[in-house]
Amino acid sequence: MSAPSFLVSGNASIDEYYLVDRIPAADEAQEAKDFFAKLGGAATNVAVALSRLKARVTFAGVVGSDEYGDLIVRYLSEEGVATHCVVRSSKPTGKVVVILDNAGRRAMVAVRGANTDLKPGFIDVDALFKGVSHAHLSSTKPDYTRWVLAEAKKRGLSTSYDPGMAIASRGLEYIRDVLGLVDVLFVNAREYDALGGEALEKEYCGLLVVKEGEHGSRIPRLGLQVPAFRVSTVDTTGAGDSFNAAFLIAWKLGLPYEKCLAIANAAGAIKSTKLGAQSSPTLSELNSFLESRGHEPLVF
């Protein structure tokens, strides 16, 4: 079976990490033990995670005409992600400051920068979908999400969307018009509650996947829940994005939902043992982990 092919679109940014003993409260100061910068943004996380699992991936987004923009394009290319749909802006590349404590907890502040140019029509629409069979969006606003997914549906593509907390916090009404275009909707437990919980289940007719961290993941409509794998957590940043990537590949391969959830749980667990949002597992790492826990590997 050939590898699935994906278009992934959304924010592209650089994550600046500050490692501290504990996250400071208001009016407190903490001295950072270390600092490093890595590629971030939920959509780029998913794109890299898909590529590491041997999927074919095109990323569509906007970066600045600056050093960080160059770094993002170079890094995506090195990870095997096609970047011909990355547009340059006069605005600075987006940035996220991540404060990470000893227990793997985090606080984040985002500056969107060039990502504000990610709007309907930002690129020739036909270029977006060349050679892909599935479109995934992460943390994108409804107007852009609607444009991309409607065009994807016109071309017969399957679709998925992870709105993220910034979008979900605005409530179900904010994304209602998008839901009919989404085949797979990913939310975490907080986002599920923010979108109305059972109200979301009644409103949305597609495949709703709820990520619950240490409690695993579930598909509410099917009454299906799969427990998490126990690991030593270092950094949960991007774990949900690794989950999304693994689930989508398994789903596109037609695997049973329970296996899709287990494989996705494994990918998220592996990522959480490593620093950085881009430290998602390779296919060999994922399969070694699955087999060590008594599960079948992901094969295609």
What is the per-residue pLDDT across 257-283, written as a single tens digit (0 to 9) for each? Answer: 999 999 999 999 999 999 877 899 999
**What does the pLDDT read at residue 105?**
85
**Summary mean pLDDT of the chain:** 95
Higher pLDDT, 275 or 76: 76
The percentage of residues in the chain with a pLDDT greater than 90, rounded to a whole number, is 86
Number of structural domains in the chain? 1
Mean pLDDT of 105-131: 92
61 inside domain:
yes
19 inside domain:
no
Residue 253 sits in which domain range? 5-11+41-85+115-292
Among 56-65, 97-106, 165-174, 198-207, the range scoring the smallest mean pLDDT is 97-106
Mean pLDDT of 154-168: 97
191 inside domain:
yes
Higher pLDDT, 80 or 17: 80
**What does the pLDDT read at residue 219?**
98
**What does the pLDDT read at residue 102?**
87
Band (pLDDT 50/70/90 cuts) for residue 1 is low
60 inside domain:
yes
Band (pLDDT 50/70/90 cuts) for residue 110 is confident
Among 178-187, 212-221, 228-237, the range scoring the smallest mean pLDDT is 228-237
Band (pLDDT 50/70/90 cuts) for residue 132 is very high
List C-alpha distances in Å: 263 to 24, 99, 111, 193, 249.
35, 29, 33, 24, 10
Would you say residue 114 has pLDDT above 90?
yes
CB 40, CB 278: distance < 8 Å: yes
29 inside domain:
no
**What does the pLDDT read at residue 277?**
77
130 inside domain:
yes
179 inside domain:
yes
Q: What angle do CA 97, 55, 108 make, to 5 degrees?
A: 10
150 inside domain:
yes
Give the CATH number of the domain where residue 210 resides: 3.40.1190.20
Q: What is the pLDDT of residues 41-56, one digit of tens each?
A: 899 999 999 999 999 9
**What does the pLDDT read at residue 36?**
87
Would you say residue 126 has pLDDT above 90?
no
Would you say residue 2 has pLDDT above 80?
no
Q: What is the pLDDT of residues 22-39, one digit of tens each?
A: 999 999 998 999 998 888
